[in-house]
Structure formats: structure tokens, C-alpha cells
Amino acid sequence: MAKKETNLTLGISEPEKVDVFMQGLNHPMKDVVTYVRSLILSVDTNIGEGIYWNAPTFFYTGAMQPFDAKEYKRYIVGFVFNRTDCIRLVFLRGALVADYFKLLEGDFKDQRKLIVFKSLDDVKEKEIEFKQIISSLVSLML
């Protein structure tokens, strides 16, 4: 049975849902989340957002060839809030990009990679490289 299409797989951005989520977010590093969200969205006008897997998730909104929804080809990155001492983001297709700066962590069989930010200063130190990874993932969509 084919996976049901969602606004993520269709590339339809829902920033209002993310705004509501952010208003209710109770996390000690909410300021970091807000900053990282703005960074991701600033990389390319074809990056959209929605709430998937109980967190803000970012994806490509431009035209693409049809694909199986299970492939998550539009997916760029999403927040993971299971820890309070850091902000973790998961790149389901992170293994597909060159990470010259070694920001991405994990050795998963399914192409996933993670990035961990421990503070706002940590994000700002890695900002240029982080945005390059996002940009590289967007370029895979074209």
C-alpha cells in the first residue's frame, strides 16, 4: 500500500502551524530553536516548513519528478526534542552530502545524520557550514 501524501511530500509549506508550535514550545533552548529555524529558512526560498514527527520539519517546496513518499526526497532537516541539554536536528538524507567540516554525526544504514547544537554560540560558530549543508541538500532536489 502506498504511503499517504502529506503536505511535506507534496511540498506545501505550513509556517502558521510552525508558528503555533513555537508559541507553545517549552524547551530550555527555545531561543536556539528560533534562531536555527530562521537560518534554515534563509538558505533558499524553496525551503518550506511544517510539523512532522512532533517537531518543525523543513523540506523542499519546488517542482520535482514524482517519487515514492517513503523516499522522503523533499526532506531536508527536522528538529528532535528528546533532550533538554542540546538541540538535535536529523537529516534523513544527510549521508548524501559532503560534510567537509564534520558537523554531521551518526553512522546509520538509512542515510540519516544528526547535528547537535549545545548553545546559541555553538550555532553561530557553525552557522556558515550548517547553511552550506542545507544548501547542498537543496541542490540535490534540482
Answer yes or no: is 2 within a domain: no
Does residue 89 fall inside a structural domain?
yes
Q: pTM above the 0.85 mark?
A: yes
Per-residue pLDDT of the chain (142 residues; tens, 9 = 90+): 445 677 887 788 999 999 999 999 999 999 999 999 999 999 999 999 999 999 999 999 987 776 666 666 788 999 999 999 999 999 988 888 888 788 999 888 888 899 999 999 999 999 999 999 999 999 988 7
Query: What is the residue whose three cell numbers read 518550506?
Result: 48
Number of domains present in the structure of the chain: 1
CATH of the domain at 132: 3.90.1150.200
Whole-angstrom distance, CA of residue 119 vs CA of residue 126: 11
Q: Which three cell numbers stand for residue 74?
A: 523533499
Say if residue 46 is exposed, middle or buried (CB neighbours under 10 Å; 0-12, 13-18, 19+): middle
Residue 73 is predicted with a pLDDT of: 79
Domain annotation covers residue 106 = yes
Domain that holds residue 89: 7-141
